[in-house]
A and B are shown apart, each in its own frame.
Chain A
Amino acid sequence: MRIICFAKQVPDPEVPAASFKIDPATNKAAPVAGVAPVINGFDLNAIEAALRLKEKHSATVTVISLGKNLVQDVIKKPLSMGCDELILLQDDAFEDGDAASIAEALALAVKKAGQFDLILCGRQASDTDRGQVGPAVAELLGLPCVTLAKGVETGEGTVKVERVVADGTEVVEAPLPALVTVSNELGEPRYPTLRGIMTAGRKTPTVWTAADIGADPGKVGAKGRTVSTVKLFIPQVEKNCEFIAGENGADAGRKLALRLREVKLI
Chain B
Amino acid sequence: MTNQGILVVAEIAGGKVSPVTHEALALAHKLQPKLGGGVAALAIGAVSDAVAKSLISHGATKVYAVSAPGLAAYSPDAYVQVVQQVIAKANPRLVLLGQTDIGRDLAPKAAFHLKATLTMDCVDLGVEGAAIRATKPVYGGNAQAIYESAAALHMATIRPKAFEAMPANDAAHGVVEQVSVTIDQSKVKVKTLEMKKEQAQGLRLEDAPVVISGGRGLGGPEPFVKLEELAKILGGAVGASRAVCDAGWQPVAKQVGLTGKTVTPDLYIAVAISGASQHMAGCSGAKNIVAINKDKDSSIFKESRFGVVGAWEEVLPAFTEMCRELRGA
Contact = CB atoms under 8 A, between A and B. Distances in A.
Report if A and B associate in a common complex: yes
Nearest to B188: A144
B26 to A, nearest CB: 21
Contact of A257 (B137, B146, B189, B319): B319
A38 to B, nearest CB: 13
A172 B78 CA distance: 14
Contacts of B138: 127-129, 232
A155 B242 CA distance: 31
Contact of B194 (A171, A233, A265): A171
B310 A230 contact: no
A11 interface: yes
Contacts of A146: 190
Interface string B313-329: 11111111111001100
A35 interface: no
Interface residues of A, number: 88
Contact of A185 (B13, B142, B246, B292): B246
B16 interface: no
A173 B138 CA distance: 31
Interface residues of B, number: 90
B144 A232 contact: yes
| Overall SS of chain B's interface | mixed
A129 B277 contact: no
A139 B309 CA distance: 50
Given A129-B258, A144-B77, A11 B190 contact: no
Interface in B273-329: 275-278, 280, 284, 288, 290-292, 296, 299, 301-311, 313-323, 326-327
Contacts of A14: 276
Given A170-B196, A184-B246, A241-B305, A230 B299 contact: no
Interface string A158-197: 0010101111111111110010000111011000000000
A207 interface: no
A145 B190 contact: yes
Given A144-B77, A242-B305, A253 B322 contact: yes
B211 to A, nearest CB: 13
Nearest to A124: B259
A126 interface: yes
